Amino acid sequence: MGKKGVLIALVVMLFCGKGQPVWAVPSLEINGKAAVLLDANTKQVLYEKNKDEKLPPASITKILTVIIAIESGKMNDTVTVSANPPLLDGTRVYLEEGEKVKVGRLAIAALVHSANDAALAIAEYLGGTEENFARIMNEKAREIGAQNSNFVNAHGLHADDHYTTAYDIGLIACYAMQNETFRKIAQMKTYDWNGQAWQTRLINKNQLLWSYDGCTGIKTGYTKEAKCTIAASAERDQRSLIAVSLACVGNNSWTDAKTLLDYGFNNFQNLEIANPEQVAARVQVEEDKELLLVPERALAISVPQGSYQKVESRVMLEPFNKQVNKGQVSGKMEFYLDGERVGAVNLIAQNSLTVSSRSIFEYFLFGIAGIYLCQITWRLYRRYRPRKRGMFSRGRHSRALFR
């Protein structure tokens, strides 16, 4: 922000129900060595167990591989399979050297069937070599915010320097599930595979797609060294959650995912803290002129049911001079829950105006605390407002995508 920027901070107390004022995190029986539960929209950590411990991810590595493939814009490109993918161990679609397959079909095979050969074929096509693709993976992970991971291959077969954390995988999963194409693939229960050497119907290895109400993905994994790993997503009542568990024994990964998701759905609710239809700030510009600022989009955060919460909102104005146009981004509002940033929205001008020769930053920003507090109090007294349709939708068998 420029040196002329204005920062206004206010603190409001949010009362969610009539429960106890202190929120005590219950003790969950989680088998995995590390686990995390995230709000998929805000990336709030709702539960964690050793979330930053570095562990091998196994095949949930492919979440990052597939989202990179999708974002490359080359899903309809045709790959000529090299001699390397057919040599891989583990789950495969039995690609053969010289076989021609579209990147999109390889991405589906990697995410739905966990095909190691498909993941390597993607890596070699997009990166030239698997080593170069691993560099792309690590760059993307850092961009997403996954700071404690290192990837050396695209498929997740064990390698000494191939590791991640439950929190990093959660962030990568949140990011990937924002992509419509990725969501569609993650929700596919089956997919018809017509390869050169193998023709079959691929069955998604994520059992939760069949057994857990609202499940929308994402990926499971297993190696002897990593044990069982899982990144699961689900949506209920306009709430979207991501659960991750690493280093589980046997079928306990399914139990962990269900336990985490149930905990999130049963103990938290959405609280809308930004509404584009309601004024968030007023700037008095000259005696008879007023600039109204509204959020660019709606924003809701997860808050514990029956708890006493403190949300701090900070308003930062963008530098501008004489003319302000309706719809112009004029600032930002950030939200903090217990000192942790849980979201931000741009503030846009609801009206156009022209000011005198003085900079608008010489004028007085007023009324924001009262206005915003009234909005929040009103919302809470009528229960929390249901959000619009969530970011996930249920999936089904697909034949049409990337034939």
Q: In this predicted structure, what is the pLDDT of residue 25?
A: 62
**What pLDDT is stored for residue 240 in this prediction?**
97
Statement: residue 63 has pLDDT above 70: yes
- Determine how many CB atoms are found less than 10 A away from the CB of residue 20: 11
Percent of all residues in the chain with a pLDDT value above 90, rounded to a whole number? 64
Confidence of residue 396 (pLDDT cuts 50, 70, 90): very low
250 backbone φψ class: left, alpha, beta (φ>0; ψ -120 to 50): left
CA atoms within 13 A on the CB side of 322: 2
Q: What is the pLDDT of residue 390?
A: 38
User: Which of 368 and 188 is assigned the larger pLDDT?
Assistant: 188
| 190-to-103, 127, 181, 396 alpha-carbon distances in Å | 18, 28, 16, 7
Residues 98-108, mean pLDDT to the nearest whole number: 99
Q: What amino acid positions are annotated as catalytic residues?
A: 59, 62, 114
Task: Report pLDDT digits (tens) over 114-162.
Answer: 999 999 999 999 999 999 999 999 999 999 999 999 999 999 999 999 9
The CA distance from 171 to 145, in Å, is 7
Give the residue-averaged pLDDT of 18-39.
77
Question: What's the mean per-residue pLDDT of the chain?
Answer: 85
- Per-residue pLDDT tens over the stretch 277-327: 988 888 777 777 888 899 999 999 998 887 767 788 888 887 766 788 999
- 34-248 under CATH 3.40.710.10, yes or no: yes
- Name the DSSP letter for residue 119: H
What's residue 337's pLDDT? 83
Nearest to 397 by CA among 152, 139, 204: 204
**DSSP letter string over 231-286?**
EEEEEETTEEEEEEEEEE-TTHHHHHHHHHHHHHHHHEEEEEEE-TTS--EEEEET
User: In the chain, where are the structural domains located?
Assistant: 6-19+272-381, 34-248
- pLDDT tens readout for residues 181-239: 999 999 999 999 999 999 999 999 999 999 999 999 999 999 999 999 999 999 998 89
pLDDT band of residue 271 (cuts 50, 70, 90) is confident
pLDDT in tens, 336-362: 887 888 889 999 999 988 876 555 444
